Amino acid sequence: MHPMLNIGIRAAHAAGDNIVRYVDRIEGLEIDSKSRNDFVSEVDKQAEAIIIDHIRKAYPDHGILAEESGKHGNDTYQWIIDPLDGTTNFLHGFPQFAVSIGLLHKGVFDQAIVYDPLRQELFTASKGGGANLNNRRIRVSKQKELEGALIGTGFPYGDMDNLDNYLESFRKLCPVTAGIRRSGSAALDLAYVACGRLDGFWEYNLKKWDIAAGALLILESGGILSDIDKSDNYMSSGNIVAGNTRISTQLLDVLHS
């Protein structure tokens, strides 16, 4: 195993264990809202501190981009961290959230960890080395057509600028797919595309820390990602379509029609 992946896994496990300790104590938590419907709790902050501590001890010269504490250090190697993806779910006791840690080397996806601490599902990938779920190789689904496909997404919840786009996408996709799911954790949605539980995914306005790990999982499991505008800019725009090649292409066609 790549040593940097190993450090990322240890960090994700430690953060995930800490998150799980609070599952039955949500009522007493200190919760702030960063903007409308965008919450952060002391659990998010503790998880982030645990991850950064692991990385700093192993790789003091690596850069970090973390959701709650921002950007630190240089970015030859940059760890992109979402300490708790699915905070709203977590705060409601809705059991769908994860730790997401991606490593970029010179701007290229290098290592990926998405850890679901409740199910103890660990999704990992190393560039060129394939993607795994709990050490077993995963592949994107073989679904060929949107008809019969299960598609993940995320609805707007704070900024409603894209609401009309969403409603339009729903109108087009509901009749032609087997179903649409909004799980509340984009990192897990991408991991589920990587292992074939979802056939495809689209969402607007994601952040780098929602995407960095999940993107490499999908690429290493034979899938593709694209910006909704069909460019490669999904990391900076946050507007993303993913799936196997056929489903991604058909999703893009529908979203553009």
Neighbours of 93 (CB within 10 A): 10
Binding residues for Ca ion, total number by CB under 5 A: 5
Q: Is 154 in the site for ligand IPD (CB under 6 A)?
A: yes
For residue 112, which phi and psi values (nearest 5 degrees)?
-145, 140
Of 116, 199, 210, 220, the residue at the interface with ligand IPD (CB under 6 A) is: 210
Q: Is 41 in the site for ligand IPD (CB under 6 A)?
A: no
Q: Is 185 in the site for ligand IPD (CB under 6 A)?
A: yes
Q: Is 243 in the site for ligand IPD (CB under 6 A)?
A: no
Q: What is the DSSP pairing of strand 150-153 with strand 200-203?
A: parallel
Q: Is 48 in the site for Ca ion (CB under 5 A)?
A: no
Spatial CA neighbour of 40 closest among 85, 72, 97: 85
Of 48, 82, 116, 199, the residue at the interface with Ca ion (CB under 5 A) is: 82
Residues between 18 and 37 with contacts to ligand IPD, criterion CB under 6 A: none
The conformation of residue 174, written as its DSSP 8-state character, comes to: G
Q: Is 221 in the site for ligand IPD (CB under 6 A)?
A: no
Q: Is 177 in the site for ligand IPD (CB under 6 A)?
A: no
Whole-angstrom CA distances from 124 to 6, 69, 184, 196 are 10, 24, 20, 15
Q: Is 203 in the site for Ca ion (CB under 5 A)?
A: no
Residue 77 to residue 105: CA distance in whole angstroms: 5
Q: Is 184 in the site for ligand IPD (CB under 6 A)?
A: yes
Beta carbons within 8 Å of 248's beta carbon, 6+ residues apart: 200, 223, 224, 225, 226, 241, 242
Residue 242 to residue 212: CA distance in whole angstroms: 13
Do 177 and 150 form a contact (C-beta atoms < 8 A)?
Answer: yes
- Shortest Cβ contact with ligand IPD: which residue? 154
Which of the stretches 53-61, 72-80, 152-160, 207-215 binds Ca ion when contact is defined by CB under 5 A?
A: 207-215
Residues between 189 and 208 with contacts to ligand IPD, criterion CB under 6 A: 203, 206
| Residues in touch with Ca ion (CB under 5 A) | 67, 82, 84-85, 210
Which residues would be at the binding site for ligand IPD (CB under 6 A)?
82, 85-88, 154, 184-186, 203, 206, 210
